[in-house]
Structures are given as C-alpha cells and as structure tokens.
C-alpha cells in the first residue's frame, strides 16, 4: 500500500496484525453507491481490465473490495491507492456480478475525506469552485484570448448558490481537510 495522500506521520506499515472493524462493510453498504459491495465473488475481471492495474502492482480493485468486506478500515482509508482509479468504468461495464466498483471506490474516498484524508489537488479544485464556479481559475490571458477569438463571454456563476450548496452538503468543510467528527 502506498502512503497516505495528505497526513504526515501516518502510521507506518508494520508486521503486527491489522485491526479489523466488522462494521465497516455495513457502513459502506448503506451509503449511496456502496450497495453492491457484497455481490463481489473475487473473479478478478475488474483487475484484468483495469488500465492502472496494468502498470502498477499496488492497485487491485478486487483486493480493495475484499479488504472492505473484511473490515480493514484503518488500512484502507488513509491509502493513496484509493485515489488511483481513472474512472474509466471498464470494470463496471464488465463485472459479471454488477458490482459498481467505481461507486464503491467513491464511497471509500468520500469516507476518507470525512476523516481528513484529502489529496491536495482536491483542496485546490474545491476552493476554485467556491471562488469562481469553475474547477479551474481561468486566467486574464485566457479571457483576453477569448475576446480576440470572438468567443462568447464565459458563464458567470451565481456564487451564492454554489456556497449554499457547499454548506448544505458539507462540502465546504470537507475540502479544508479537517476532521469533522472530532
């Protein structure tokens, strides 16, 4: 497993047995997108078609599913491995058990973020959308370039709407990467 994306001094891997949390699978199962977790029968179709699994040994979608079923919460959530999915949906389309692999991974990432494990890139994109309505900040140069190319003016998002949505979904505090429950 790779190291966690944002927290320093994360627990190093040791030879001691991993603590398991038998309730972890139920936590995942009840979240939107986690419902298909139990259907996996470890055929490995997801991993065999995965573009990332092809170039690194550290990423095995079927292994992630098994680890969640076993309750390996504390190993799973801080792991960078969760974030390597390219969301190509090949596994989802090919799974004979209709496991929504990408959605299960997203549930795990959402849980990881709740615990404060959020890669820096998402903090940046997150502050961009709150400040501009766009995931990227469009530079003055680009705006001038658009004028020169006679392209329409870019959308001007009502930022109060975005801030309100961020508040009620809890997004605004999540992107700060602070632990919420403690």
- Residue numbers at the binding site for other proteins (CB under 8 A): 5, 32-33, 51-52, 55-56, 80, 83-90, 92-93, 102, 106-107, 109-110, 113, 118-119, 121-122, 125-126, 129, 133-136, 138, 142, 145-146, 149, 151-158, 160-162, 164-166, 168-171, 174-175
For residues 29 and 35, the answer to whether their CB atoms sit within 8 Å is yes
Minimum CB separation of residue 159 from other proteins in Å reads 9
CB of 68 to other proteins, least distance (A): 16
Least separation in angstroms between CB 11 and other proteins: 21
Closest CB to other proteins among residues 42, 56: 56
Q: Structure tokens of 164?
A: 């309100």
Closest to other proteins by CB, 14 vs 55, is 55
Q: How far is CA 38 from CA 22, 30, 99, in A?
A: 13, 11, 8
Orientation angle between helical segments 159-169 and 120-132, nearest 10 degrees: 140
Q: Which is nearer to other proteins, 8 or 93 (CB)?
A: 93
- CB of 67 vs other proteins, minimal distance in Å: 18
What is the C-alpha to C-alpha distance for residues 16 and 37, in angstroms, rounded to an integer?
27
The two structure tokens encoding residue 26: 């139920």
Query: CA 48, 49, 55: angle at the middle one, nearest 5?
Result: 80
Which of residues 17 and 155 has its CB atom nearest to other proteins in the complex? 155
SS3 84: helix
Q: Are 134 and 128 in contact (CB under 8 A)?
A: yes
CA distance 175 to 116: 9
Supply the minimum distance, in Å, between the C-beta of residue 160 and other proteins: 8
Nearer to other proteins, 25 or 106 (CB): 106
């Amino acid at each position: 497993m790779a190291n966690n994306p944002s927290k320093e001094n994360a627990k190093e891997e040791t030879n001691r047995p991993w603590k398991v949390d038998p309730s972890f699978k139920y936590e995942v199962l009840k979240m939107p997108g986690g419902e298909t977790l139990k259907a996996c029968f470890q055929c490995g179709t997801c991993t065999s078609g995965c573009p990332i699994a092809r170039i690194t040994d550290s990423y095995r979608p079927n292994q992630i599913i098994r680890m969640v079923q076993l309750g390996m919460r504390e190993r799973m959530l801080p792991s960078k491995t969760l974030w390597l999915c390219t969301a190509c949906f090949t596994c989802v389309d090919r799974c004979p058990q209709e496991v929504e692999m990408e959605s299960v991974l997203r549930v795990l990432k959402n849980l990881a973020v709740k615990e404060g494990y959020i890669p820096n890139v998402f903090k940046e994109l997150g502050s961009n959308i709150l400040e501009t309505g766009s995931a990227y900040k469009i530079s003055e140069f680009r705006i001038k370039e658009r004028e020169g190319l006679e392209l329409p003016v870019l959308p001007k998002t009502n930022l109060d709407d975005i801030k309100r949505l961020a508040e009620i979904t809890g997004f605004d505090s999540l992107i700060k990467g602070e632990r919420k429950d403690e």
